[in-house]
């Protein structure tokens, strides 16, 4: 009897195991199909969680079968698809990804390509397997070089960089593809995995552009509208933003209202590596992409997060501020602003001002939070307004190298001239005493409240929060 019972248990175990195996293989096939749809192109499936997308991508790196399928389907179907910047694969082992390409004629003419690369690409592998550029439509092969964007030794697997394609006097490609020598050696007629439309400079279109780092699960409608309206009020002409993980319908609605007015450009930032493997969603590449995108398009570019604005008690606009500084220092390639944290967890200002009740109702923290921590020194948490054509490499809080050795950074030391207001929710170790009150921005209360109210009406809502 015991023997019969054992056979029954064994039989049930075999059936159960068979079902598990069938389910596993069915899931794996479904997983691969979904994987391709999610990770190729512009990350259009914003409803999938970031965690799930990262697991899918991690599986790509480990699963050669998926890699083969992904590399076959990553090529756009028609030329129109190249017009929208997006990360594209260079090599099947996923060491190099390209995003956008820009003509740079500041010295010997080159095409500069924004890339994310494996951290060791400059080492032994690159000596035996260098990059080449294939020009379109000529199909000429152009010599190329890789330059990392310098960053601290953070220890990430990937970092930002540039691939520079050297041009001849007669070469002016409409598009460029990046390949490895090993790919060409195997097949001279090798079809590249990538193709980028080259963006050529035009006449200056505007004076001031603000670049905002890639959005990651962004939901702070309050800070978004206040920042946009405050900067428009100060004379900003255009905003360029990057979307990494998708946005809530309300954030999309807000941004669309500015897009409809022609003052905002939103680009997809389909980061092709896990966010734990690169600094702050590829911030270094993102920042330089925006600078190159605005070279000879915008005279000045301001790079800052959504919760940061420049406030001046001396100047009424970006134009008057830059004219004053450059009038005294014509070799300023960048203007650096001191940082002051205004924690939004602090109490509202005790000072009454016209419209305070309305500001409280609408949650206008930029007007209500007037207590800041100890001012930082220049270079520590600073943000910069730069002249794009003067920049070779940036750091988050400063310039690493100018394209012209005569250029320099001009610091704004006096907070009355200009101060970076950083309205931060989380406390940080460098939020130090002594605390001080600064009511400068409250002088703009009527104009800001009016602007925000009009924006509310346009997006058909009564409150940001």
Query: What does the pLDDT look like over 331-361, one tens digit per residue?
Result: 999 999 999 999 999 999 999 999 999 999 9
Among 37-46, 91-100, 376-385, top mean pLDDT goes to: 376-385
* 148 C-beta neighbours (distance < 10 Å), count: 16
Give phi and psi for 368, each to the nearest 5.
Answer: -90, -30
Does 213 score more than 90 pLDDT? yes
Does 81 score more than 90 pLDDT? no
Q: Give me the CATH topology for the region 206-458.
A: Spore Coat Polysaccharide Biosynthesis Protein SpsA; Chain A (3.90.550)
Report pLDDT digits (tens) over 30-67.
433 333 333 333 333 333 333 333 333 333 333 322 32
How long a stretch of residues is the chain? 465
CA proximity to 304, closest of 335, 350, 279, 345: 335
What mean pLDDT, rounded, does the chain reach? 83
- Looking at residue 353, its pLDDT comes to 96
* 408 C-beta neighbours (distance < 10 Å), count: 15
Which has more pLDDT, 279 or 75? 279
- Looking at residue 217, its pLDDT comes to 85
- Looking at residue 275, its pLDDT comes to 92
Domain span(s) for CATH 3.90.550 in the chain: 206-458
Share of the chain above pLDDT 70, in %: 79
Instruction: Say if CB 266 and CB 211 are below 8 A apart.
Output: no
Residue 24: band (very low, low, confident or very high) from pLDDT cuts 50, 70, 90? very low
Report pLDDT digits (tens) over 323-333.
999 999 999 99
Which structure tokens are listed for 269?
């930032």
Share of the chain above pLDDT 90, in %: 70
Q: Give me the CATH topology for the region 84-199.
A: Immunoglobulin-like (2.60.40)
- Looking at residue 286, its pLDDT comes to 97
Distance CA 43, CA 271 (A): 9
- Looking at residue 25, its pLDDT comes to 39
Q: Taking residues 82-100, what's their average pLDDT?
A: 83
- Looking at residue 123, its pLDDT comes to 59
- Looking at residue 188, its pLDDT comes to 75
Domain span(s) for CATH 2.60.40 in the chain: 84-199
CA proximity to 233, closest of 387, 446, 382: 446
Distance CA 380, CA 395 (A): 11
How far CA 221 is from CA of 248, 335, 338, in Å, comes to 10, 29, 25
Q: Taking residues 114-130, what's their average pLDDT?
A: 73
Instruction: Say if CB 219 and CB 248 are below 8 A apart.
Output: yes
Distance CA 404, CA 197 (A): 27
Residue 79: band (very low, low, confident or very high) from pLDDT cuts 50, 70, 90? very low
Distance CA 339, CA 420 (A): 5
Residue 295: band (very low, low, confident or very high) from pLDDT cuts 50, 70, 90? very high
Secondary structure of the chain in HEC code, one letter for each residue: CHHHHHHHHHHHHHHHHHHHHHHHHHHHHHHHHHHHHHHCCCCCCCCCCHHHHHHHHHHHHHCHHHHHHHHHHCCCCCHHHHHCCCCEECCCCCCEEEEEEEEECCCCCEEEEEEEEECCCCCHHHHHCCEEEEEECCCCEEEEEEEECCCCCCCCCEEEEEEEEECCCCCCCCEEEEEEHHHHHHCCCCCCCCCEEEECCCCCCEEEEEEEEEECCCCCHHHHHHHHHHHHHCCCCEEEEEECCCCCHHHHHHHHHHHHCCCEEEEECCCCCCHHHCHHHCHHHHHHHHHHHCCCCEEEEEECCCCEEEECCCCCCHHHHHHHHHHHCCCEEEEEECEEECCCCCCCCCCCCCCHHHHHHHCCHHHHCCEECCCCCCCCCCEEEECHHHEEEEECCEEEEECCCCCEEEEECCCCCCEEEECCCCCCCCCCCCCEECCHHHHHHHHHHHHHHHHHHHCCCCCCC
């Amino acid at each position: 009897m015991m023997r019969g019972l054992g056979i029954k248990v064994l039989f049930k175990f075999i059936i159960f195991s068979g079902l598990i195996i069938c389910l596993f293989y069915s899931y794996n096939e479904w997983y691969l199909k979904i994987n391709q749809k999610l990770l190729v192109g512009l990350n259009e499936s914003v409803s999938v969680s970031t965690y799930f997308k990262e697991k899918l991508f991690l599986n790509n790196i480990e699963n050669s079968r998926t890699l083969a399928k992904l590399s076959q389907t990553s090529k756009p179907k028609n030329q129109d698809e190249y017009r929208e910047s997006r990360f594209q694969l260079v090599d099947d082992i996923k060491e190099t990804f390209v995003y956008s390409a820009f003509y740079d004629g500041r010295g010997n003419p080159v095409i500069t390509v924004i890339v994310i690369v494996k951290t060791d690409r400059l080492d032994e592998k690159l000596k035996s397997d260098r990059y080449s550029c294939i020009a379109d439509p000529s199909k000429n092969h152009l010599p190329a070089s890789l330059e990392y964007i310098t960053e601290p030794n953070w220890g990430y697997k990937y970092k930002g960089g540039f691939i520079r394609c050297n041009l001849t006097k007669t070469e002016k490609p409409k598009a460029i593809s990046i390949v490895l020598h090993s790919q060409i050696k195997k097949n001279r007629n090798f079809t590249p995995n990538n193709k980028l439309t080259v963006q050529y400079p035009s006449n200056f279109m505007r004076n001031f552009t603000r670049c905002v780092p890639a959005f990651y699960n962004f939901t702070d409608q309050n800070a978004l509208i206040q920042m946009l309206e405050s900067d428009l009020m100060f004379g900003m002409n255009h905003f360029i933003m990057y979307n990494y993980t998708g946005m809530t319908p309300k954030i999309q609605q807000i941004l669309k209202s500015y897009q409809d007015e022609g003052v905002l450009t939103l680009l997809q930032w389909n980061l092709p590596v896990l966010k734990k493997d690169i600094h702050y969603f590829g911030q270094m590449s993102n920042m330089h992409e925006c600078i190159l995108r605005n070279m000879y398009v915008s005279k000045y570019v301001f790079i800052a997060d959504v919760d940061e604005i420049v406030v001046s008690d001396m100047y009424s606009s970006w134009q008057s501020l830059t004219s004053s500084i450059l009038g005294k220092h014509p070799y300023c390639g960048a203007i650096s602003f001191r940082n002051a944290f205004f924690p939004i967890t602090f109490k509202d200002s005790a000072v009454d001002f016209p419209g305070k009740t309305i500001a409280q109702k609408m949650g206008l923290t930029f007007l209500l939070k007037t207590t800041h921590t100890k001012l930082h020194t220049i270079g520590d948490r600073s943000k910069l307004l730069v002249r794009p054509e003067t920049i070779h490499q940036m750091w988050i809080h400063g310039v690493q190298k100018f394209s012209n050795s005569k250029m320099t950074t001009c610091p704004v030391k006096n907070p009355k001239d200009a101060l970076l207001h950083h309205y931060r929710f989380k406390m940080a170790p460098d939020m130090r005493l002594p605390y001080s009150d600064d009511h400068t921005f409250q002088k703009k209360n009527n104009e800001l409240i009016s602007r925000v109210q009009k924006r509310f009406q346009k997006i058909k809502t009564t409150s940001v929060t």
